[in-house]
Chains A and B, each alone.
Chain A
């Protein structure tokens, strides 16, 4: 069991993340939803820090909260400026109610599965002490360049395709 400091931080971040997520889906204005999502990402980054994954925490903030959310906000700005004015309240059609019920069922299933069998995988070699001695970022970098070099290169290609795709898609016809 961790120290009480860890518990406090965990509780605050967890509840914060969940509440921020709920607000994302409840706010009428898309800009408000975007802001709450950024907040959600920040809380998740704190969770990552709790798990001693500093690298991922930073990457989370940089990529998700930074790049992606910025893109989204820009797009909201480009597209739905008028939308936010005439957005009507949430209509709860039977289909949607069914969807919500199903999602709760989904949650129950996930938690149930969790308590049936907890993390059945094999224990690896990277004990926290070893990671602490090498340094987290260094461990990640070392693995990336050795065992995961191939996906690493591929992923850069994926990004390239993304860029090209985005540019081509939005070009105005001359």
Chain B
């Protein structure tokens, strides 16, 4: 089998790509997509670890995480729709009412 290190490094790389995406992109939808990418990268790490430790805990953890990610996506996108309705924009640098 391929050594575990490669999978874990791959997970880290995709995760960091997601982080850069969150920090750099302006549209809220794309930020959300990058977050999903981060979640999926975490999934790789979990599955790789549980596979190499001959355990299923990581796999089931990912199972539940995915479920929650789905629910989160539903609600989050609903919020985006609402945001668009009221603010007529979904660009993150134009939504800043929650400040001092």
* In contact, A106 and B19 (Cβ under 8 angstroms): yes
* In contact, B16 and A159 (Cβ under 8 angstroms): no
Question: Given that A10-B2, A118-B5 are known contacts, is A107 also in contact with B47, CB under 8 Å in the complex?
Answer: no
CB-defined contacts of B17 to chain A, threshold 8 Å: 18, 21-22, 24-25
In-complex Cβ contact of B23 among A78, A96, A115, A158 (8 A): A96
* In contact, B90 and A47 (Cβ under 8 angstroms): no
CB-defined contacts of A25 to chain B, threshold 8 Å: 17, 20-21, 24-25, 30, 34
Residue among A47, A55, A159 with the highest chain B CB neighbour number at 10 A: A47
* In contact, B51 and A114 (Cβ under 8 angstroms): no
CB-defined contacts of A75 to chain B, threshold 8 Å: 29, 77, 80-81
Chain A interface, DSSP helix/strand/loop, else mixed = helix
Chain B positions 24-75 with a Cβ under 8 Å from a chain A Cβ: 24-25, 27, 29-30, 32-34, 36-37, 40-41, 43-44, 47-57, 59-60, 62-64, 66-75
A21 to B38, CA, bound (A): 10
A107 to B20, CA, bound (A): 11
What 0/1 pattern do residues 110 to 134 of A give for CB contact below 8 A with B?
A: 1100110011011111111000000
User: B98 contacts the other chain (Cβ, under 8 Å)?
Assistant: no
Question: Given that A44-B40, A119-B4, A121-B53 are known contacts, is A165 also in contact with B16, CB under 8 Å in the complex?
Answer: no
**A interface, CB within 8 angstroms of B:** 1-2, 6-7, 10, 14, 17-18, 21-22, 24-25, 30, 33-34, 37, 40-41, 44, 47-48, 50-53, 55-56, 59-60, 63-64, 67-68, 71-72, 75-76, 78-80, 83, 87, 90, 96, 99-100, 103-104, 106-107, 110-111, 114-115, 118-119, 121-128, 139-140, 143-144, 148, 151-152, 155, 158-159, 161-163, 165-166, 169-170
